[in-house]
Structures are given as structure tokens and as C-alpha cells.
Structure 1
């Protein structure tokens, strides 16, 4: 990890319009949790549904999309990435630094809000808050790797990523049996399911399979982004 690249990336992410989205989305979730708590509509089933539908299935992938594409996509679009590529910094170090920044942003703006939402609504009844927090934490790493890789591959990463999130992860990932097994959301939900006794939390993917896929896809995303950066530098030289 390169501290200089990390600092520049953090400054760029938190100083752009993306910062408003990073703050706005979790704020909506927290307001919803507070409203349900005030109206005394926060039983275990409701809390589990809010944490799953709005936290794990919606907030997490959207925040990861904003963070993952934002840490490197704009630099590729305006050509600034070539300045970094001319430095004697290994491509994997650049990718891992960008990925680490994206993951820290996911922790700050998705994992922590989910933790606070769970505390507001249910405390830690049936370990539901800690389970969803860990589920979002592990799912966030995989989503970040996917979207960083997508940003390196395509200039339309945001549009493609948004389509993927809305159609595959949110729509098909919740309702289509076949798609559930290939959904990051369901893999993260499997981890959550293993950590809580709450009956509403159910995953269709076995835990060992889910953990293996989370690790595999995260590693593949980081590796593919590194290889693609090498091709960018070669193309620039030619």
C-alpha cells in the first residue's frame, strides 16, 4: 500500500460530489431506523428485514459502487492515472491502495451505519446487529474489488455497475433462485445467517461455499485490475 496515493485518493473522494452520496445514503437508513424505533415498530422481524433489504441488499452495493469506481475511474477518464503509472510503483501496489481506500470508505459509510441501525432498532437481540455488521463487512470487500476492477476495465463503470446492482443483486438476487447462488448479497447473507439465531435471516448458499466465493471473487477482482493497469501503461507507451 502506498500512503501518498491513499492520501490523494481519500482527499479526492471526500472532496467531490460523491461525498454527498456517501453521506446521504446511510443517513436515509438511519432516519428510517429512528422513525421505526420512535413509532415502536421495531420487532425482530422488522429489524431483520430493514437490515437485510435496506442495509445489506441496497446500501452496501450502492456505497461500494460509488467508492470502488470513484477511487480510480475518474483518474483513468481524465488521464491522470498515467502520471501514477510512470512512477516506479508496482501495479499491484496501486490497485491494493485504491482497493483499501474504497474498502475503508465502505466501512465508514456502510458498515458503521448498519451497525448503528441495528443498535437503534434491536440492540443485539439474537446477535442480529453483530451478524449483519460482519456480513456487510465481508461483503463490502468483495463488492469493492468487483467495482474497482470494473472501473479499470470500462469508462462506463458506474452505469454498468448500477445496472448490475439494481438488476442482479437487488432484483434477481432476492427473487430468482438460480441468481441467488451467484450473488454477493447472498454470500454475505450466508455469513450473517451463521452468526444469528434470528429466524427471518435465511440464505440459500451454504457457508463454506459462500466464504470460498467471497475470497475467490475478491482475489480475482484485485488481480484482474492489476493486469489491466499493466495493459494501460503499455497502450500509453505505444
Structure 2
């Protein structure tokens, strides 16, 4: 990890309107949970359903999209990536550092609010809260790899990523049987299911398969991004 790249990436993420959106999304999740906790007689089924259908399926992919694409695609779009490409820094170091920064942002603005949201809905079940936090982290890692690879290979990473997050993860990954096996959300639910004894938390994918797919997607995504950055010449970046 390169400290200078990490600092520049953080500046890019939080120096524009993107940074405001990164804070708004978890605030919306927490505000909704507070409102429901005050007005609805919550049951464990209701709480976990909300965390899954709104938290895991919508908020987490969107935060991951903003963090991962902001870490790379914005620099490619405005040409500032030339600064990094002109330095004697390994392309793998650039990608891995940016990915780690994005993951750190997801942990802070995705996983931590998810734990808090779960406790707001059911303060007596910290085990499930921590399980959803862990599920958010593993999902965020996979999403980061997917969206960084997309940022490195496409000039429309945000648009494509938004369609993927909302349509595939938000709809297909929840309601279409065949698509569930290829949903990061379902893979993270397998981890959550393993960490909590709540019977209402289930996944369409068994844990061993989920872990294999999470690792494979992460490795492939990072590899694609590194390979693409290596082929990106200074003249192309400009």
C-alpha cells in the first residue's frame, strides 16, 4: 500500500459531491431504522428483512459503487491518473491501494452503519448486528473488485455499475431464483447466516460455494484492473 496514493484517493473521494452522497446513504438507512423503530412493532423477521432488502441490496452496493469508481474512474476521466502513471510505481500497487481505500470507506460508511441500524431495530440481538456488519464487509470487498475492474475498462463505469447494483443486486439477486447464485448479496447472506443463529436469515448459496465465489470475483476483478492499467499508456490516459 502506498500512503501518497491513499491520501490522494481519499482527497478525490471526499473532495467532490460524491463524498456528500457517501455520507447521505448511511444517514438515510439509519434515519429509516429510527423511524421504524419508533413507529412499528418490530419483529426479528421484519428487522432482518429490512436490513437485507434495503441495506444489503441497495445501500451497500451504492456505497461500494461510489467508493470504488471514485477511487479510480474519476482520475481516469479527468486525466489526473497521468500523474501516477508517470511515477515509478507498480500498477498493482496503484490498484491495490485504491481498492484498500475504497474498502476502508465501505467499512466506515457501510458496515458500521449496518451494525448500528441492526441494533436500532433490535438492541437485544448484537450477534445478528455483528453478522450483518461482517456480511457488509465481505460484500464490499467483492463489490470493490467488480467496480474497480469496471472503472479500469469502461468510460461508463458509474452508469453500468448503477444498473448492475439496482437491477441485478436489488431485484434479480433477491427475487429471481437462477440469478441468486450469482449475486454478491446472496454470498454475503451465506456468511451472515453462518454467524447468526437467527432462522430467518437465509441464503440461496451454501457457505463454501459463497466463499469460493467471493474470493474468485475479488481476485479476477483486481487482476483485470491491474492488467488494464498496465496497458494504459500516458497518451491514452491524457
TM-score range, shorter chain: over 0.9
Question: Which residue of structure 1 aligns with residue 105 of structure 2?
Answer: 105
Is the partner of 1:72 in helix, strand or coil? helix
Q: State the Cα distance separating 1:195 from its structure 2 match.
A: 1.2
Matches within 5 A, 1:13-162: 13-125=13-125, 127-162=127-162
Question: Which residue of structure 2 aligns with residue 184 of structure 1?
Answer: 184
* Larger displacement relative to structure 2 (77-86 or 117-126): 117-126
| C-alpha RMSD of matched pairs (Å) | 1.4
Mapped to 2, the partners of 1:144 and 1:124 lie a distance apart of 32
Q: For structure 1, which runs of at least 5 residues remain unmatched after alignment?
A: none
Q: For structure 2, which runs of at least 5 residues remain unmatched after alignment?
A: none
Question: Are the counterparts in 1 of residues 5 and 94 from structure 2 also a CA contact under 8 Å?
Answer: yes
Mapped to 1, the partners of 2:19 and 2:173 lie a distance apart of 27
Cα gap change, 1:234/1:18 in structure 2, threshold over 3 Å: closer, same or farther?
closer
Question: Are the counterparts in 2 of residues 72 and 152 from structure 1 also a CA contact under 8 Å?
Answer: yes
Question: Are the counterparts in 2 of residues 126 and 196 from structure 1 also a CA contact under 8 Å?
Answer: no
Tell me the TM-score normalized by structure 2: 0.96
Question: Are the counterparts in 2 of residues 188 and 210 from structure 1 also a CA contact under 8 Å?
Answer: yes
Mapped to 1, the partners of 2:234 and 2:18 lie a distance apart of 30
Runs of 4+ deviating beyond 4 Å = none
Q: Deviations over 1:206-225 (max 9, x none)?
A: 10000011011101111110
Tell me the TM-score normalized by structure 1: 0.96
Mapped to 1, the partners of 2:164 and 2:151 lie a distance apart of 13
Question: Which residue of structure 2 aligns with residue 196 of structure 1?
Answer: 196
Cα gap change, 1:124/1:84 in structure 2, threshold over 3 Å: closer, same or farther?
farther
Mapped to 1, the partners of 2:235 and 2:216 lie a distance apart of 29
